[in-house]
Structure 1
Amino acid sequence: MASAFETDWTCFQVTLEDRVAHIRLNRPEAFNSMNRAFWNELPAIVDDISDNARARVIVISSTGRHFTAGMDLQNFAGVGGGTAEGPRRPDIAGEASRAHLESLQDAFSCLDRARMPVIAAIQGGCVGGGVDLTAACDMRYASADAFFCIQEINIGMTADAGTFPRLCRLIPQGWVRELAYTGRRLPAEAAREIGLVNAVLPDADAVVAHALAVAREIAAKSPLAVAGSKVMINYAREHDTETALDYLRVWQAGMFPAADMAETFKARQEGREPDFPDLRPVHRGM
Structure 2
Amino acid sequence: MEKYSSVEIIQENPNSPVFTLYLNRPLHGNALSIQFFQEFPKAISHLDRNPNVAVIILSGRGNHFCSGIDLKSLSSLTADVQVSSDRGRSGEKLLGQIKVMQEAITAIERCRKPVIACVHGACIGGGVDIVSACDVRYCTEDALFSVKEVDVAITADLGSLQRLPAIVGYGNAMELALTARTFSGSEAKSLGLVSKVFACKADMEAGVGAIAQGIGAKSPLALIGTKRVMVNSRDLTLSQGLDYVATWNSGMLFSNDLQEAVSAALQKRKPSFSKL
TM-score (norm 1): 0.89
Q: Could you tell me the percent identity over the aligned residues?
A: 33
- Which residue of 180, 183, 187 corresponds with 1:186? 183
Unpaired runs of 5+ in structure 2? 84-88
The one-letter amino acid of 1:50's match is: D
Instruction: Determine the structure 2 residue equivalent to 1:73.
Output: 71
Counterparts of residues 64-143 of structure 1 (less than 5 Å) = 64-77=62-75, 82-83=79-80, 89-91=81-83, 93-143=90-140
- Give, in whole Å, the separation in 1 of the partners of 2:45 and 2:24: 19
User: How far has the Cα of 1:190 moved from its partner?
Assistant: 0.6
| Paired residues of 1:224 and 1:257 also in contact (CA < 8 A) | no
Instruction: Determine the structure 1 residue equivalent to 2:47.
Output: 49
| Paired residues of 1:120 and 1:211 also in contact (CA < 8 A) | no
Unpaired runs of 5+ in structure 1? 1-5, 84-88, 280-286
- Which residue of 14, 19, 26 corresponds with 1:28? 26
- Which residue of 204, 228, 231 corresponds with 1:231? 228
CA RMSD in angstroms comes to 1.6
Instruction: Determine the structure 2 residue equivalent to 1:12.
Output: 7
Q: Any idea what SS the aligned residue of 2:112 has?
A: coil
Instruction: Determine the structure 1 residue equivalent to 2:156.
Output: 159
Q: Are 2:251 and 1:254 equivalent residues in the alignment? A: yes
Counterparts of residues 207-218 of structure 1 (less than 5 Å) = 207-218=204-215
Deviations 1:160-191 (A, max 9, x none): 01111111111121211111111101111011
Instruction: Determine the structure 2 residue equivalent to 1:86.
Output: none
- Provide the aligned length of Structure 1 versus Structure 2: 268
Deviations 1:11-53 (A, max 9, x none): 1221223101111112211111111221111100001111343
User: How far has the Cα of 1:208 moved from its partner?
Assistant: 2.0
Q: Any idea what SS the aligned residue of 1:170 has?
A: helix
User: How far has the Cα of 1:251 moved from its partner?
Assistant: 0.7
- Give, in whole Å, the separation in 2 of the partners of 1:93 and 1:257: 52
Moved more, 203-212 or 140-149: 203-212
Deviations 1:109-148 (A, max 9, x none): 0000110110000001100100000000000000000011
| Paired residues of 1:125 and 1:148 also in contact (CA < 8 A) | yes
Moved more, 6-15 or 149-158: 6-15
- Give, in whole Å, the separation in 1 of the partners of 2:254 and 2:135: 22
Moved over 4 A (4+): 89-92
**Structure 1 residues 40 and 257: CA distance shift in structure 2, 3 A:** farther
User: How far has the Cα of 1:96 moved from its partner?
Assistant: 2.6
